[in-house]
Amino acid sequence: MFSLYNKTIYYIVISILVLTFQVNFPNIIFFNEHEINVDLVLVFITFLSILSGTYKIIIFSFFYGIILDIVLSTNEIGLLSFITSITSFLLISLKDYDNLWNRNMKFLSIFSIYLFHFLFFYLILFNDTFLVVFLISLFQAIFTFIIFYIISKFIVKVR
């Protein structure tokens, strides 16, 4: 019981830190009017999915998305929570292939899920050509994956 309590407190503290950094992280202006930033909440959900792999993470990711919708984008309430829930489901489903795939294949799958996440989000958010939306999604997925890779290499070992 004591161990479960410590683990819960640990996840709450990490969640508050991640949400604080996410809200205060600077945006990068792209194509003169579009802003992109590193999605630290998505990286945190990825690590939760890899380490625990339970479906409770989908509920947590829904609430993380609602909080980010309220704080960051008040016009699209529910969009980020919906997309984050789908993304967390896809990330949890990678746990089924632990014994089949090597590390590079898992990383390629995680990058593809990141690209799907941002492409789906920006296709709904922006009313631009597909090429612009794809480039914005690609760069945001690359930035987010670089953060994930650095953390997985030096802080949390992903096998």
Q: Is 19 within 8 Å of 45 (Cβ atoms)?
A: no
Backbone angles phi, psi at 40, to 5 degrees: -70, -30
Name which of 16-25, 56-65, 97-106, 138-147 the model is least confident about: 16-25
Give the three-state DSSP class for 74: helix
Q: What is the pLDDT of residues 28-47, one digit of tens each?
A: 766 667 677 778 888 888 88
Query: How far from 3 is each of 7, 9, 10, 68, CA to CA, in Å?
Result: 6, 10, 10, 29
Q: What is the pLDDT of residues 45-90, one digit of tens each?
A: 888 888 876 778 888 888 888 887 887 776 778 888 889 899 999 9
pLDDT band per the 50, 70, 90 thresholds, residue 1:
very low
% of the chain beyond a pLDDT of 90:
13
Rg for the chain (alpha carbons), in Å?
16
